Amino acid sequence: MSTYFISDLHLDEKRPDITRAFFDFLHGRAAGAEALYILGDFFEAWVGDDDDAPLAREVIGELSRYSGSGVELYLMHGNRDFLLGTDFAQRAGATLLQDPTTLSLGNERVLLMHGDSLCTLDKEYMAFRRQARDPKWQQELLAKSLQERRAIAAQIRMASKSMNSRKAEDIMDVTQDEVERVMLEHNVLRLIHGHTHRPARHALTINGEPAERIVLGDWDKNAWCLKADKDSLELIHWPVG
């Protein structure tokens, strides 16, 4: 049985083709899997588990059927959907994962991350990340009405778009020193993350040993997943729609 890793679907009511591709993935390629790991930015935005929008309801329904079929479902926060909470997880039949999380995969330990914390050169974003992960800030935000939260989410997205268009390419990517630091800290030779939208498999050396950083792809024109079987890892993509 295979284990699958996906991230950065950015599910959004404006992109029904991606939602459809995700549901097709659950019913097709990923049906009967051992486990599915969603490593953040599953939603383009998440304003709280009380969100009653049709997309939220529909996705929860599909995830619940999927996990109900016997697949272990795991969910990590990204920088867009950091407000996904225990209520969502419970209804979807998913387990929320800390970022980072180590996992035994076959014979090895791998490290799972969303990847935003690796982009340490982006000081502006790192400051926002600290704020967004602060439980008190989250509580204050969740105390606002759904309508207010939707407006705030739209503002944050616009601000981030204009910020990112001014940023150099390299500060939007991971910092190699930080990658090596977390891999050493967690004593792993393989790291799987998303966030940067630069799907690839990068060879590196950790403690004199060959190691690998696998970057999952964002779902846009193509859908992406990492498929893990007993002795193989395969980064796969296929056209959306």
CB-nearer residue toward Mn ion: 76 or 188: 76
CB-nearer residue toward Mn ion: 33 or 182: 182
CB-nearer residue toward Mn ion: 35 or 39: 39
CB of 127 to Mn ion, least distance (A): 16
Report how many residues bind Mn ion under the rule CB under 5 A: 4
CB-nearer residue toward Mn ion: 41 or 122: 41
CB of 118 to Mn ion, least distance (A): 11
Q: Catalogue the E-assigned strands of the chain.
A: 3-6, 35-39, 72-76, 95-97, 101-105, 108-113, 190-193, 200-206, 209-215, 222-229, 232-239
CB of 195 to Mn ion, least distance (A): 4
CB of 115 to Mn ion, least distance (A): 7
End-to-end CA distance of the chain: 26
Q: Is 117 in the site for Mn ion (CB under 5 A)?
A: no
Residue 194, number of CB atoms within 10 A of its CB: 31
Q: Which residue is nearest to Mn ion (CB)?
A: 195
Q: Is 224 exposed, middle or buried (0-12, 13-18, 19+ CB in 10 A)?
A: buried
Q: Is 199 in the site for Mn ion (CB under 5 A)?
A: no
CB-nearer residue toward Mn ion: 51 or 122: 122
Residue 152 and residue 128: Cα distance in Å, rounded?
14
Adjacent-strand bridge partners of 17: none
Q: Is 7 in the site for Mn ion (CB under 5 A)?
A: no
Q: Which two tokens stand for residue 90?
A: 């419970």
Q: Is 196 in the site for Mn ion (CB under 5 A)?
A: no
37-66: which residues touch Mn ion (CB under 5 A)? 41
CB of 207 to Mn ion, least distance (A): 28
Q: Which of 198, 124, 196, 130 is nearest to 167 (CA)?
A: 124
Q: Which two tokens stand for residue 20?
A: 């459809």
* Residue partners of 80: CB distance under 8 A and separation at least 6: 10, 40, 41, 43, 44, 45, 46
Considering only 78, 100, 199, 217, the residue that binds Mn ion (CB under 5 A) is 78
CB-nearer residue toward Mn ion: 33 or 193: 193
Residues that bind Mn ion (CB under 5 A): 41, 78-79, 195
